[in-house]
Chains A and B, each alone.
Chain A
Amino acid sequence: MSDIQQTAQQLHDQFSEHLDVDVEEIEERLERYVDEYKIPLDEARRSVESHYLDEAGIERDELGRGGNPTVQAADVDTADEWVDITAKVVDLWEPRSDSVAQVGLLGDESGTIKFTKWAASDLDELDEGQVYHLGNVVTDEYQGRYSVKLNRTTTITEVDEDIEVGDDETTVEGALVDIQSGSGLIKRCPHEDCTRVLQNGRCSEHGEVEGEFDLRIKGVLDDGTDVHEIILNEEATTDLTGVTLAEAKQQAMDALDTTVVADEMRETLLGKYYRVSGPTLGRYVLANDIEELNDPVDGESVLIKARSM
């Protein structure tokens, strides 16, 4: 569908209760503005909208909120915006608070985004695996991670088609310039579905607990232009370092200190170049795959560029 067709469809939906006008007619009007008069589409939309408002004899605010931009899950990159989204409920999580009715993950072709539905909004129950058109949701951001919030004015329409949910897998390259605290041999809260990393033997939710050991790396890849934060889980960490969880525990036991594990990792990994691919979660790339870039480089193309400057 072209942008004009899409806009025409949106306008048609907006006016469907007020006017008997077909999509083709709206499309023609838009085309005239855009193609003949070279008016930007959003301006054209406004003009066409005004025309039909006149025709229907209604004010702009009586139209309701038909004018939200329709977004793709992975493209949300601003907070506090009113948007529409058509997406599948790929995962439902246990709400941590009574004020939340449902929380989980929405997905479309572009990737996934977290959603929250407040108990106070009094909305219909969403089913896992079902595709919905959600009108009037608000985008939000927390620590670089975006989500959408459903609210009292949100419209929920079941859509009778399936969506193939895309993975927002990316590949990043750069020098590993930092291995951050919380890397190496760590302890996690053993409570079911918690898995928070313990700080001095304490879970921020469950207090002092007997933690379970895990191995991970939180690192920073830097290519001189951009910075990417990466997380390696136990498997990826072992792949890269050759150190298993059992060996890491042994190292820590021998040294009577768990920090030796991360120290050793810093010594062997920092300052080298890596390529990492995996899904993105907020500002992190979860490394499914990591390889060191140690094949010889060819400076020829840069040299040619330099000489031509």
Chain B
Amino acid sequence: MSESAPTREVARRVFADEFNDATFTFKESDDERAPLYSLLPTGAKANRVFLVGTLTETEDVGEDSEYWRGRVVDPTGTFFVYAGQYQPDAANALRELDTPAYVAIVGKPRTYETEDGTVNVSVRPESITEVDTATRDRWVVETAERTLERIEAFDEEGNEYARRAEEEYDLPLRRYKRAAIDALESLDETEDGDGEDEDTRDAETAESV
């Protein structure tokens, strides 16, 4: 690809469980404006993520000016999303949206070290839009697929970010594989779930009669 047209960074697909483990961030050049990457434990760098989940809570946690925090839940955990005056569209969306709602978010990973030394990982959103169930399910399948691809490629020779993840984290990969499987299985449950609900209802009716 050409140097003259900077290529846009791909938006990684990563479940909340893995995203929140990605506490290590780095830059690849000394340039002050160089992009900041978070290192995913399955061995990839992420400068941007795309996620879809259920917005369960929004709160203005700002002191002087509005600063919105949203909790976005996927089958594996919770993404924390923060938007303030520099993300007006996203802040607007968090202010306006009713919870719960499925939302799609494009954003940048950010980390924050608390006083006791724990590193919190969050998303600084570029856009937040409301989406439907089909989009959310598609994301779950896609994210499971991408996660498994990263796990598969982990031991490949020359996988620079996997070697780095080994050094920085020492987290067992099977955890993320398990999370991907659980996430996929949760889709089945939602479908079968309707049936089960009916069964239960029938049982209840039977009992009450």
Contacts and interface: CB of A to CB of B under 8 A. Distances in A.
Interface stretch (A93-101, A137-145, A147-155): A137-145
Interface in B175-198: 177, 180-181, 184-185, 187-188
A144 B1 contact: yes
Interface stretch (B57-65, B112-120, B129-137, B161-169): B129-137
Nearest to A223: B142
B50 interface: yes
Q: Which of A220, A270, A295 has the most CB of B within 10 A?
A: A270
Contacts of A263: 89
Contacts of A222: 10-11, 50
Interface in A220-254: 220, 222-227, 229
Nearest to A178: B106
B127 interface: yes
Contacts of A225: 10, 146, 149
A175 B141 CA distance: 13
Q: Report, as a range, how many residues of chain B touch the other chain.
A: 35 or more
Nearest to A222: B11
B152 interface: yes
Given A177-B106, A225-B146, A272 B10 contact: no
Contacts of A298: 141
Interface string A279-309: 0000100000000011111110011011101
Contact of B148 (A141, A226, A229, A305): A305
A273 B131 CA distance: 10
B148 A299 contact: no
A302 B184 contact: yes
B76 to A, nearest CB: 13
B39 interface: no
A55 interface: no
Interface of A: 79, 141-144, 175, 177-178, 220, 222-227, 229, 263, 266-273, 283, 293-299, 302-303, 305-307, 309
Interface of B: 1-2, 4-5, 7-13, 48, 50, 52, 89, 103-106, 126-129, 131-132, 134-135, 137-146, 148-149, 151-152, 177, 180-181, 184-185, 187-188
Given A175-B50, A306-B148, A307-B181, 19 more contacts: A79-B2, A144-B1, A177-B127, A220-B8, A225-B149, A270-B106, A271-B50, A271-B105, A271-B106, A271-B131, A271-B135, A273-B135, A298-B141, A299-B184, A299-B188, A302-B141, A303-B184, A303-B185, A306-B184
